[in-house]
């Protein structure tokens, strides 16, 4: 964008950090963080930052054609295909003609997985399909958007980044990112331990041993995560 956006909307803002940082970075912009929960008091909250508690699966209480920039990230694991249709429709409705949308998502499947991770991914695919969710939504996202918007958006760019899992990468920056990504994977399997134990009827010792073997697989097979960023602009009606 040639100049700072006047109004920025962060969809499903979570802890509100992205909206908070954008409000600091663009003091002349009105930044809105919209999410499902009330936001606690934040020390030093900028005056140009507003949080809205709302059910994003319902029509949004935001005027049509009122937002210059929309940011949405990591929502695929929580949405059915039908819910995606609604979300994209509302994105387009509130976006100003000439405004931009940035979507960031990560492939659900792991790339170059070892046998343990491959088995887990296969199970997760079955879980997603049983809930009318598209396990490969990042690969079909362009078509999903185009089906919903009926030429109301123009694609600007689709970028991808491959982030190592573990420290197998030769480049120091890749090692650093891989270390962080490995920590994320550890947290996922730690937080979901009861779920996976129930599926495979594993004891604590068996589960912990399987996770340790899985973590070694990431380095052995040079596994990685693939992140996507789609940037699109709303069409300006011809006069």
Residues 32-84: tens digit of each pLDDT: 999 988 887 788 899 999 999 999 999 999 999 999 999 999 999 989 988 99
C-alpha torsion angle, residues 85, 161, 35, 180 (rounded to 10): 150
Fold of the domain spanning 55-234: Rossmann fold (3.40.50)
Q: Which residue has the tokens 């185009």?
A: 146
Angle between helices 81-94 and 141-149 (to 10 degrees): 60
- Overall average pLDDT of the 204-222 stretch: 96
> Cα separations (Å) of 213 from 11, 41, 95, 181?
37, 42, 47, 17
Percent residues over pLDDT 70 in the chain? 97
Pairing of strands 7-11, 67-73: parallel
> Cα separations (Å) of 34 from 5, 16, 47, 66, 181?
17, 9, 16, 15, 27
- C-alpha gyration radius of the chain: 20
Give yes or no for a contact between 181 and 163, defined as CB atoms under 8 angstroms apart. Answer: yes
Look at residue 150 and tell me whether its pLDDT is greater than 70. no
Give yes or no for a contact between 229 and 123, defined as CB atoms under 8 angstroms apart. Answer: no
Angle between helices 115-130 and 204-220 (to 10 degrees): 110
At 153, the pLDDT band (50, 70, 90 cuts) reads confident
Look at residue 105 and tell me whether its pLDDT is greater than 80. yes
Question: Domain spans of the chain?
Answer: 55-234
Q: What pLDDT sits at residue 1?
A: 63
Please provide the average confidence, as pLDDT, over all residues in the chain. Answer: 93
- Overall average pLDDT of the 221-237 stretch: 95
Instruction: Convert the pLDDT of each residue in 157-182 to its tens digit.
Output: 999 999 999 999 999 999 999 999 99
Q: Which range, of 5-14, 150-159, 189-198, averages the lowest pLDDT?
A: 150-159
At 146, the pLDDT band (50, 70, 90 cuts) reads confident
Give yes or no for a contact between 60 and 94, defined as CB atoms under 8 angstroms apart. Answer: yes
Beta-bridge partner residues of 227: 106, 161
Pairing of strands 224-234, 95-106: antiparallel
Look at residue 149 and tell me whether its pLDDT is greater than 80. no
- Overall average pLDDT of the 83-106 stretch: 95
């Amino acid at each position: 964008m040639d100049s700072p956006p006047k109004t920025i909307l962060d969809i499903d803002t979570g802890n509100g950090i992205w909206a908070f940082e954008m409000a600091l970075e663009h003091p002349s912009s009105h930044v809105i963080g919209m999410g499902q929960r009330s936001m606690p008091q934040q020390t030093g909250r900028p005056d140009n930052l507003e949080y809205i508690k709302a059910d994003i699966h319902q029509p949004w209480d935001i005027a049509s054609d009122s937002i210059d920039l929309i940011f949405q990230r990591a929502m695929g694991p929580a949405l059915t295909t039908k819910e995606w249709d609604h979300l994209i429709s509302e994105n387009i409705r509130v976006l100003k003609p000439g405004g931009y949308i940035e979507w960031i998502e990560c492939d659900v499947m792991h790339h170059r997985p070892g046998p343990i991770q491959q088995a887990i991914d296969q199970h997760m695919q079955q879980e997603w399909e049983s809930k009318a969710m598209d396990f490969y939504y990042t690969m079909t996202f362009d078509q999903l958007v185009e089906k919903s918007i009926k030429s109301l958006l123009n694609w600007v760019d689709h970028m991808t980044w491959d982030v190592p899992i573990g420290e197998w990468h030769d480049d120091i920056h890749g090692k650093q990112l891989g270390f962080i990504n490995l920590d994320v994977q550890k947290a996922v399997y730690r937080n979901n331990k009861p779920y996976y134990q129930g599926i495979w009827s594993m004891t604590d010792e068996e589960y912990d041993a399987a996770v340790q073997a899985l973590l070694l697989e990431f380095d052995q097979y040079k596994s990685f995560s693939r992140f996507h960023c789609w940037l699109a602009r709303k069409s300006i009606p011809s006069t």
